[in-house]
Structure 1
Amino acid sequence: MRWDVRAFDLFAPLYDLVMPSANEDAVRKGLFVADRELSRVLEIGGGSGRVASTVGATVVDPAAGMLRRARRRELETVRASATDLPHPDDSVDAILVVDAFHHFPKQWRCLEEMARVLAPGGILVVREFDRDTRLGRGLVAAEKLVGFDSTFYTTTELEAAIEAVGLDVRPIDYGFEMTIAGVKPVTGA
């Protein structure tokens, strides 16, 4: 098990007390650009469910401690890694990844998996930190200091990675906290 997952298991009881809330407006703007109705929503790397609880998503996370927190919010949970999602192809309307993508192992594989489970017209919304900003460089240094095996992207790199797995990129906002969406094309329409 990666240190990142073990750390979040240990940190779970304090997580919601010390972490700032996510920007719900940016997440909702990302969901708004989907090309289909959104009833089946996953938050991958959703931890304690702080975002999932605001949009009615199922929390998918490898850290058992974080999932216990999410279940206390009466959220549906799935213990899984983003590298191997237990969902069938084309079965999910929306996927959220909020402040977590930099912790994912094999990020390319994770993006492929998320694109695989998205239904045509479905949306991937990634809210992440841009390493090219002043605050981003500080966050990169801080995560290395505590021993996380984090990999941060620039806006351009994240857009290119999302596009490379076959999703149509739809930027939502830029800055230290960026929100990039990708819509799975509807073929044969």
Structure 2
Amino acid sequence: MHGVGDVRFFDRVARLYDLAMPPAERGALLDGLSRAERPVEHVLDVGGGSGRAGVTLTAPDRQVTVVDVSGEMLSRARGRGLDCVRGDARTLPVADGAVDAVTVVDAFHHMPDQRAVLANVARVLAPGGAVVIREFDPETLLGRVVERVEDAVGMGSLFTGPDDLARAIERTGLDARVLDRGFGYTVVGVKQDNN
């Protein structure tokens, strides 16, 4: 789900990625999923890389599928027992209305055409389904540090604050709200039956 330069980086660091990254915010993700207006039986973890977030969402009654463009990261996710599909967030290889929820955890800023990504997410969500995006706020001190570090290593990251992200989600026709704020923030969007 990353820009071409970012994919090469993630392919190179896949073996070490989970050692450097903190665990995914399970509570925030589950809070976001609870906003869905339908049972959440199938989650598409877009840009899910090594499955770091996907494993926190697995449950006996829930299928989690990781979608990413980095083959090396997906091999890590497969090693965690997750279903994986290699694909681009701008053209998700999933039928219209096929999933109950989509998560994007610490990856949206790596996606070069964010408008197309959000439109595709809205397309694959079933009515009542929810998208939950966890991101880094570039207006916080730590967010500015992450932004500068990623720029220094040549990533094409595009960071967005929580309010701007909520507005972008609403432009796809979903009802959006900011669930929490800070260095790591959560925005959820729910697809209404009339979409």
Give TM-score scaled by structure 2 length: 0.94
Matched, 1:180 2:187: yes
Matched, 1:136 2:138: no
Pairwise mapping of residues 12-91 of structure 1 onto structure 2 (< 5 A)? 12-56=14-58, 57-91=64-98
The CA distance in 2 between the partners of 1:176 and 1:152, in whole Å, is 12
The CA distance in 1 between the partners of 2:54 and 2:124, in whole Å, is 18
Check conservation: 1:170, 1:183, Cα contact below 8 A. no
The CA distance in 2 between the partners of 1:11 and 1:150, in whole Å, is 17
Check conservation: 2:28, 2:186, Cα contact below 8 A. yes
Secondary structure class of the residue paired with 2:89: coil
Of 150, 158, 181, which residue of structure 1 is paired with 2:165? Answer: 158
Secondary structure class of the residue paired with 1:77: strand
Secondary structure class of the residue paired with 1:139: helix
Runs of 5+ unmatched residues, structure 2:
59-63
Give, as a single letter, the amino acid of the residue that structure 1 aligns with 2:85.
V
Deviations 1:132-174 (A, max 9, x none): 1111111111110011100000111101101011110132101
The CA distance in 2 between the partners of 1:63 and 1:129, in whole Å, is 21
Runs of 5+ unmatched residues, structure 1:
none
Number of matched pairs: 188
Shift, 1:22, TM fit: 1.3
- Deviates further, 176-185 or 131-140: 131-140
The CA distance in 1 between the partners of 2:91 and 2:161, in whole Å, is 25
Shift, 1:187, TM fit: 2.2
Matched, 1:117 2:124: yes
Deviations 1:79-121 (A, max 9, x none): 0010110111111100000000000120100000000000000
Give TM-score scaled by structure 1 length: 0.97
Check conservation: 2:163, 2:178, Cα contact below 8 A. no
Shift, 1:68, TM fit: 0.4
Partner of 2:61: none
Give, as a single letter, the amino acid of the residue that structure 1 aligns with 2:39.
E
The CA distance in 1 between the partners of 2:163 and 2:56, in whole Å, is 29
Deviations 1:53-90 (A, max 9, x none): 12121100000000000111111000001011011111
Matched, 1:5 2:7: yes
Instruction: Report runs of 4+ in structure 1 exceeding 4 Å deviation.
Output: none
Partner of 1:126: 133
Give, as a single letter, the amino acid of the residue that structure 2 aligns with 1:186.
D
Give, as a single letter, the amino acid of the residue that structure 1 aligns with 2:53.
V
Secondary structure class of the residue paired with 2:16: helix
**RMSD over aligned Cα, in angstroms?**
1.1
Identity %, equivalent residues: 50
Of 135, 144, 152, which residue of structure 2 is paired with 1:145? Answer: 152
